[in-house]
Amino acid sequence: MQAATTRALQESEESLNAIFDAGPDAMLISNNEGIIVLASRQVEPILGYKPKELLGQSIELLVPDAYRQEHAEHRNQYIASPTTRLMGQRREITARHKDGNECTVEIGLSQISSAIGVFVASSIRDIRDRKSAEDAVRAHAEKLRYLYELSPLGIVLTDMEGRYLEFNQAFEKICGYSAGELRALDYWQLTPRKYEDAEKKILDDLACTGHYGPYEKEYVRKDGTVVPLRLNGAQVAASNGEKFIWSIVEDISSRKQSEDKIRELAFFDHLTGLPNRALLHDLLRRAISSSQRSEMFGALLLIDLDNFKTINDTRGHTVGDQVLTKVAELLKKSVRNDDIVARLGGDEFVVVLVHLDSEINDAAGSVKEIAEKILDVLDHRIQLGNSSFQCTASIGASLFRGAETTQEDLIKQADLAMYRAKAMGRNTISFFDPTMEAAVLARATLEQELRIALDENQFTLYYQPQISKTKEVIGVEALIRWLHPNRGLVAPDGFIEVAEETGLILSMGHWVLHTACLQLSRWAKMPEFEDLTLAVNVSAHQFGQADFATQVQAILLTTGANPYRLKLELTESVLMVNAKEIAAKMSSLKSLGVGFSLDDFGTGYSSLSYLKLLPIDQLKIDRSFVRDVLLDPNDAAIARTIIALAHSLQLSVIAEGVETQDQQKFLDTAECDSYQGYLFSKPLPIDEFEKFHSDA
Ligand code: C2E
Ligand code: CA
Ligand code: CA
């Protein structure tokens, strides 16, 4: 019986062993006292023991010292009330390897009750690999967590609407918002409008390649400051297909600052903060091409301080530096915002004036004006603390339009001109182009001389007869002449334009009117002359004065001239501005008896509507039509039309510049009313005219 039992047991043990050995897990069967009765082959790779070594040993051999004591108790409890625990129920325990080390295994238990007693089957799975994979994943996750939390880079997860879903502290710091605030905001609320297009492109990139960047942009932080950023990111998809974007956000303010600093060092003068030579070249190039587009002249002024070396030598470099800084400041104040002020080095500055004028002489005139303003500003002692410095300069100017001259050439030209300014006695401006300089100089001289002429009464009036159909002198046109002390008699073409531009025309015109009216009142006492009308030219500027009518009235009053003998010659351009005001002025003069003739008729705007509305008495056919009236059928037609028009409006017509009999005959046939021109007489000084008239 004993032997049969033993054999049976042995047989069943062998078959059990065969089953056990086939499984991937180690199998142990122990009896109710914890003695191992069966061990599968897999125990060796897991626990280090050969199966044989374990047979007859207590299961506690495999329990680490620390748990051995309580293990026996647990085992007894388990025997008393067994529950089957399947493998994979994640019961991890620590076992003791043969080499004494501990190893983590997963264990499943079940109780076997048999005729020969209660046994416990333990299946033991080696989970070292799984364990280390899990550990690796955990370590990896932890590492990522650290990187995420400790990264100085902002890391942020947004959904496709730009809402912030997850972000690290660095990101909060970059944005200046708290985590709570950020969750309520989205990307667009921090992004300035100007990035709209760039953002669209980012979304395209994401759609095409799955990532974007590096992309530089700005965020507006909570405090309103702007932070420059560099972003890189990638799109990820959740298992449900929803898309998100992970972005790495780098605050690049300090990089930007150093870039700016480098730029500043490379392109700006340390002392004055003005653009230096390198930047000047760049700016000048742009100014030149812009002048080409706008067809407006620009100018480069090279400004060299005359006495800077003395200041530096006698007062020291610190004071010298302060003077230079002050000069820079004054230069900037002397020009418009678009203009460029740069420092070439030492006491040399450059001013580039842009968009001056499309007329070269007008451009040169403005250059001269601005240069003189600069000289004046510098000359007005520079105040530094208690000391003041006179800082005269020599300025060389060179004009440009279009790309004919290079930047280098322009600077060279201005440099040459500057040396000439020095040679000319300093504190002055000189142009590279000598003819321009002569023109500018002449104009400036003219202006100066005109002022003197007005003060010293160097003007006189000439009188040109106006002749009726019947060849009688019916009136005169007063024409101004300048009796220049050196140049002799100067015709108005040589100075009226400058007088207009400088405003001197106002006092000049007043003088003409006054003189003409004096003449009228004298003639009033001379029977031969009392019926003559006197035409006076009035410039637009002059007529434009608000009190013009009052001025005329006052002159009429003080001279005692008969208003009915006075005729004012206006050009069409006078009538084009502010029609209402013009009409009021003309009407008030008309009510005094003053007449109006429209000078140079046909050359102006020829909008005829005003002819009906304004109290005009006469049209004056321009000299240019009269000149060619026999040669050019077009001019002949114009002359005829003007005459017909005048008559249809009950206006009289006078033709000016009549030089030949044939011209006069033509006009006579066309029914012109009166004539003026060399055919009858040139403009004459008063005594000659009076003689001319008396002899007639
Ligand atoms: P305007 O008002 O058209 O004056 C007529 C000009 O034609 C005068 O030139 C006169 O000398 C000239 N002239 C007259 N007959 C003939 C002719 O048969 N052939 C030619 N070729 N020319 C003739 P002037 O005196 O040199 O005046 C030129 C312009 O100066 C005037 O043109 C007028 O616009 C302006 N001006 C003259 N005096 C005054 C004045 O007192 N005040 C203002 N504001 N302008 C004046
Ligand atoms: Ca005239
Ligand atoms: Ca005229």
pLDDT tens per residue across span 601-659: 888 665 677 888 899 999 999 999 999 999 999 999 999 999 999 999 999 999 999 99
Averaged over 664-668, what is the pLDDT? Answer: 97
pLDDT of residue 87: 56
Measured from the CB, is residue 62 less than 6 Å from ligand 1? no
pLDDT of residue 399: 93
Contact by Cβ (8 Å): 307, 355: no
Q: Is the pLDDT of residue 392 over 70?
A: yes
Averaged over 296-313, what is the pLDDT? Answer: 90
Measured by CA distance, the residue closest to atom 23 of ligand 1 is 657
What percentage of residues in the chain have a pLDDT greater than 90? 61
Give the distance between the most distant pair of CA atoms in the chain.
184
Nearest C-alpha neighbor of 537 from the set 447, 582, 476: 476
User: Do strands 340-345 and 348-353 pair parallel, antiparallel, or not at all (unpaired)?
Assistant: antiparallel
For residue 522, what are its two tokens?
């004298």
306: β partners:
none
pLDDT of residue 536: 98
- Identify the band that residue 104 occupies on the pLDDT scale cut at 50, 70 and 90: confident
Q: Is the pLDDT of residue 344 over 70?
A: yes
> Of the residues 482, 537, 571, which should be mutated to test ligand 1's pocket, given the most ligand atoms within 8 Å of the CB?
537
Ligand 1 midpoint to CA 638 (Å): 21
For the structural domain made of 2-128, what CATH number should be given? 3.30.450.20
The rounded distance, in Å, linking the Cα atoms of 451 and 447 is 6
Which regions of the chain carry the CATH code 3.30.70.270? 272-446
For residue 455, what are its two tokens?
């003060």
Q: Is the pLDDT of residue 269 over 60?
A: yes
- What is the DSSP-derived secondary structure letter of residue 565? G
pLDDT of residue 391: 84
Q: What is the CA radius of gyration of the chain?
A: 54
CATH class of the domain whose range is 151-256: alpha beta
Contact by Cβ (8 Å): 494, 449: no
Nearest C-alpha neighbor of 282 from the set 352, 224, 337, 206: 352
Measured from the CB, is residue 465 less than 6 Å from ligand 1? no
Omega of the bond leading into 492 within 30 degrees of 0 (cis) = no
SS (H, E, C) 151-202: CCCEEEEEECCCEEEEECHHHHHHHCCCHHHHHHCEHHHHCCHHHHHHHHHH
Buried b (16+ CB within 10 A) or exposed e, 188-213: eebbeeebeeebeebeebbeeeeebb
- Identify the band that residue 264 occupies on the pLDDT scale cut at 50, 70 and 90: confident
290 Cβ neighbours under 8 A, 6+ residues apart: 298, 354, 355
Residue 220 vs residue 574, higher pLDDT: 220
Contact by Cβ (8 Å): 3, 9: no
Q: Is the pLDDT of residue 534 over 60?
A: yes
Q: Is the pLDDT of residue 7 over 70?
A: yes
pLDDT of residue 6: 67
For residue 238, what are its two tokens?
């959740």
Measured from the CB, is residue 496 less than 6 Å from ligand 1? yes
- Identify the band that residue 113 occupies on the pLDDT scale cut at 50, 70 and 90: confident
- Identify the band that residue 175 occupies on the pLDDT scale cut at 50, 70 and 90: very high
- pTM (2 decimals)? 0.52
| Sequence letter at residue 522 | R
The rounded distance, in Å, linking the Cα atoms of 368 and 299 is 10
Contact by Cβ (8 Å): 276, 267: yes
Q: Which of 139-153, 326-340, 474-488 has the lowest mean pLDDT?
A: 139-153
pLDDT in tens, 414-467: 998 998 888 888 888 998 887 766 777 787 889 899 999 999 999 999 999 999
Residue 74 vs residue 214, higher pLDDT: 214
Contact by Cβ (8 Å): 601, 572: yes
Specify the DSSP element, H or E, that contains 423. Answer: helix 407-423
- Identify the band that residue 88 occupies on the pLDDT scale cut at 50, 70 and 90: low
pLDDT of residue 677: 98
Which regions of the chain carry the CATH code 3.30.450.20? 2-128, 151-256
- What is the DSSP-derived secondary structure letter of residue 240? T
Q: Is the pLDDT of residue 62 over 70?
A: yes
Residue 575 φ then ψ, to 5°: -85, -10
Nearest C-alpha neighbor of 597 from the set 574, 625, 629: 574
Angle, to 10 degrees, between the axis of helix 360-379 and the axis of helix 434-455? 70
Q: Which of 8-22, 203-217, 533-547, 609-623 has the lowest mean pLDDT?
A: 8-22
pLDDT of residue 389: 78
Of 72-76, 537-541, 675-679, give the range with the top mean pLDDT: 675-679
Q: Which residues surround ligand 2, an ion (CB under 5 A)?
A: 537, 569, 599
Ligand 2 midpoint to CA 626 (Å): 14
Atom of ligand 1 nearest to the CA of 542: 44
Q: Which of 172-176, 532-536, 654-658 has the lowest mean pLDDT?
A: 172-176
Q: Which ligand minimizes its atom distance to the CA of 496?
A: 1
> Which residue's entry shows tokens 């932890």?
142
213 Cβ neighbours under 8 A, 6+ residues apart: 202, 230, 231, 232, 233, 247
For the structural domain made of 272-446, what CATH number should be given? 3.30.70.270
Nearest C-alpha neighbor of 356 from the set 333, 331, 335, 375: 335
**Measured CA angle at 58 (ends 53, 64), to 5 deg:** 95
- Give the end-to-end CA distance of the chain in Å, rounded to a whole number: 182
Contact by Cβ (8 Å): 477, 464: yes
pLDDT of residue 210: 92
The rounded distance, in Å, linking the Cα atoms of 399 and 492 is 30
Measured from the CB, is residue 539 less than 6 Å from ligand 1? yes
The rounded distance, in Å, linking the Cα atoms of 411 and 428 is 18
- Provide the CATH topology of domain 457-695: TIM Barrel (3.20.20)
Measured from the CB, is residue 480 less than 6 Å from ligand 1? yes
Ligand 3 midpoint to CA 457 (Å): 25
The rounded distance, in Å, linking the Cα atoms of 514 and 536 is 10
Q: Is the pLDDT of residue 674 over 80?
A: yes
